[in-house]
A and B are shown apart, each in its own frame.
Chain A
Amino acid sequence: QKEVEQDPGPLSVPEGAIVSLNCTYSNSAFQYFMWYRQYSRKGPELLMYTYSSGNKEDGRFTAQVDKSSKYISLFIRDSQPSDSATYLCAMSGGRSSASKIIFGSGTRLSIRP
């Protein structure tokens, strides 16, 4: 079993729709949860960074963490064609830079104009 499971998609939605992306994990030691966006043939770019359970909102993006269920989500409101990319969930066990990050395999998202 992988430490982090993520549906690879592809996921295609019309412009303006709400997008829900999810990951599950098995390691209860994970404390820090991240979402990265990766455009084709580019490096990953950090979108959201949350600690422990709860919600965090940043513009059109909301990240949710449910540690009891080992489940994290990213919601994108009013989706735009420019949001089309691969979204990677990621997590680590510690806060310091010494903690390696474990990534999901990524969900490919396409927003149709």
Chain B
Amino acid sequence: NAGVMQNPRHLVRRRGQEARLRCSPMKGHSHVYWYRQLPEEGLKFMVYLQKENIIDESGMPKERFSAEFPKEGPSILRIQQVVRGDSAAYFCASSPGTSEDNEQFFGPGTRLTVL
């Protein structure tokens, strides 16, 4: 059973470009969470999605950031017009959604560098 998969693992963008980060949850998981980790800091919650629905986006910056989890395919975190401050590791986690336990399984992360 493959774990949470994220790609690309490393992404380099110039200021003003768009970044698209993909996350495929574990098999059977229908809940996806995105977190951002700045250097020397802990993980900060960004957004929680179920298939075709955004459940909680309280951690998402108001501008330039969006997320989706379509019926088919991976979840996408999209950052438009990237700035240097967007450089961070972005982690995706998934959970079953059928059990009461809030155990989230994390992917290996995408490291975004903005030049």
A97–B96 CB distance below 8 A: yes
Given contacts A97-B31, A97-B95, A105-B41, contact A43 B109 (CB under 8 A): yes
Partner of B102, one of A42, A94, A104: A94
CB distance from B76 to the nearest CB of A (A): 18
Across the interface, A100 reaches (CB within 8 A) one of B4, B33, B101, B111, namely: B33
- Asked if B43 and A103 sit within 8 Å, CB to CB, the answer is yes
| Complex Cα spacing A15 to B25, Å | 37
Task: Give the chain A neighbours of B99 by CB distance below 8 A.
Answer: 97
Instruction: Give the size category of B's interface with A.
Output: 20 to 34
Q: In the complex the two chains form, what is the Cα distance from A95 to B103 in whole Å?
A: 9
CA distance A4 to B41 in the complex (A): 12
Could you tell me the dominant secondary structure of chain B's interface residues?
A: loop
A59 → chain B, closest Cβ, in Å?
Answer: 18
Main secondary structure of the interface of A (DSSP, over half): loop
Task: Answer whether residue A78 sits at the interface, using C-beta atoms and an 8 A cutoff.
Answer: no
A68 contacts the other chain (CB 8 A): no
Interface status of A22 (Cβ within 8 A of chain B): no
Q: Give residues of chain A (80-112) contacting chain B, Cβ–Cβ below 8 Å.
A: 88, 92, 94-106
| A91, chain B: closest CB distance, angstroms | 10
Binding site for A on B (CB under 8 A): 4, 31, 33, 35, 40-45, 48, 55-56, 58-59, 91, 95-97, 99-109, 111
Sample of 19 A–B contacts (CB below 8 Å):
A32-B102, A41-B109, A42-B109, A43-B106, A44-B43, A44-B106, A49-B101, A49-B103, A88-B42, A94-B102, A96-B102, A97-B95, A99-B102, A100-B45, A101-B45, A101-B104, A103-B42, A103-B44, A106-B42
CB within 8 Å of B: which residues of A?
Answer: 4, 6, 8, 32, 36, 41-46, 49, 88, 92, 94-106
